[in-house]
Structure 1
Amino acid sequence: MTRLSAILAILVVVAGLAAAGWFALRPSDADPFAPCRGSSVAGGTATIGGPFALTDGAGRRVTDAEAITGPTLVYFGYSFCPDVCPFDLSRNALAAAELAEKGTQVGQVFISIDPARDTPEVVRDFVAAIDPGILGLTGTAEEVAKAAAAYKVYYRKSGDDPDYYLMDHSTFTYLVAPEVGFLDFYRSEQTPEQVAGSVACYAARL
């Protein structure tokens, strides 16, 4: 091997090592929240969540950017719900309280899927009876439908009684955060401790 050939061979090796080092140290495109995820979403997490503009208990207009200022638990239900909605919201409140004790603040948002009965005042009183920290929101039928569609929420009126009908609806609680958007969802059977543990994992990576 000539001197020139030896130099070229060394340069090739150095270049290869440099390239290998760059690939090893380059920023990862992997999901930073992967260790926290306890569920998967068909179509990916980007398919859930979106902008909304609704009305709070004081009659003020509230956008998603104003409602979601940190890690936030979002739940769709209705005030006449006989069981699952109060149960899920109470579970979320307990999880939020547990997180607050450990120094992690998490918001809570309730969005009504029964705007015909859930006026701003009704929603205000409903959430206040469960936890004053819950932001209750309602709106027109069109506004509610848009928010529900963004979160892939199913709901449908059940019964013919104009005053005492029920609402069939999905019962997921969604964890969302500013800029990041949707992170995960929680089923009714998950405990306050399980929800708090999951939220803490995400919050530590935001």
Structure 2
Amino acid sequence: MSGLKVLRYVAWAAVAVLLGAIGFVTAQHYLGPKDGGLLSPVASIGGPFTMVDAAAGRTVTEADFKGKPTAYFFGFTFCPDVCPTTLAETQMWIEKLGPDADKVNFAFVSVDPERDTPEVMRDYVAAFDDRIRPLTGSPEQVEAMLKAYRVYARRVPLDDGDYTMDHSAAVFLMDSDNRFVGTIAYEEAPENAMAKLRRLIDNAG
């Protein structure tokens, strides 16, 4: 093999290692540790928002969630699987936390404001646990919050003329100052999820 080819292979190997390292760091920031740990606060995820708390029947902002850590899940009420599964898991986390559940804000945020009116959101979330706050709003308000939290959501047309929503499936964990510190992945092992929530509570204390 010529010296030029050797140098070329070495260069490509170096690029591959660099891209792998970048991918790993990015994944750590967006997915969070899998062992119950949390990240240092990440300022680029989260920020101001104005939404409607459907259960309380009033407008809320990020200021209403400060002072306690928050677990935000973004989804929609017509979701066939991911959303009801995650809400059921959230209900289980709340039950396992016991009295400590009151030290965390839990919120289900709609990515489908066209169908998720306050009444629909209120009734849907009430079937799981009334400590999960159902948040919705105008299309503009929802879009602004999705953008601030770097949440992926896309309307997908169906063959029958209806539509569904493709969206991020992780639960976003914010500290008591509403700064992003990690996620709970969809169907993450229960012991990992509980460890992250307990660490979130301990760090807030």
Tell me the TM-score normalised to structure 1 length: 0.74
Matching of residue 138 in structure 1 with residue 136 in structure 2: yes
- Structure 2 vs 1, CA of residues 166 and 66 (structure 1 numbering), >3 Å: closer, same or farther? same
- Structure 2 vs 1, CA of residues 68 and 90 (structure 1 numbering), >3 Å: closer, same or farther? farther
Please name the residue that 1:179 is paired with: 177
Please name the residue that 2:8 is paired with: none
Please name the residue that 1:93 is paired with: 91
Could you list the structure 1 runs, at least 4 aligned residues long, displaced by more than 6 angstroms after superposition: none
Q: Distance in 2 between matches of 1:204 and 1:68?
A: 16
Please name the residue that 1:46 is paired with: 43
Compute the displacement of 1:161 (Å).
6.9
- Structure 2 vs 1, CA of residues 102 and 180 (structure 1 numbering), >3 Å: closer, same or farther? closer
Q: Which runs of 5+ in 1 are unaligned?
A: 1-33
Please name the residue that 1:37 is paired with: 37
Report the structure, 1 or 2, having the larger helix content.
2
Compute the displacement of 1:116 (Å).
0.3
Matches within 5 A, 1:120-139: 120-139=118-137
Structure 1 stretch displaced more, 72-81 or 177-186: 177-186
- Structure 2 vs 1, CA of residues 140 and 161 (structure 1 numbering), >3 Å: closer, same or farther? farther
Q: Which runs of 5+ in 2 are unaligned?
A: 1-32
**Which protein has the larger Cα radius of gyration, Structure 1 or Structure 2?**
1
Which of these residues, 71, 74, 77, is aligned with residue 76 of structure 1? 74
Cα contact 2:39–2:181 (8 A) shared by 1: no
Please name the residue that 1:4 is paired with: none
Cα contact 2:45–2:148 (8 A) shared by 1: yes
Percent identity between the two aligned chains: 39
What code does the residue aligned with 2:203 have?
R
What code does the residue aligned with 1:100 have?
G
Cα contact 2:109–2:134 (8 A) shared by 1: yes
Q: Which has the higher contact order (CA 8 A, sep 6+)?
A: 2
Q: Secondary structure of 1:118's match?
A: coil
Cα contact 2:38–2:200 (8 A) shared by 1: no
Compute the displacement of 1:96 (Å).
2.2
Q: Secondary structure of 2:107's match?
A: strand
Tell me the TM-score normalised to structure 2 length: 0.74
Which of these residues, 192, 198, 201, is aligned with residue 200 of structure 1? 198
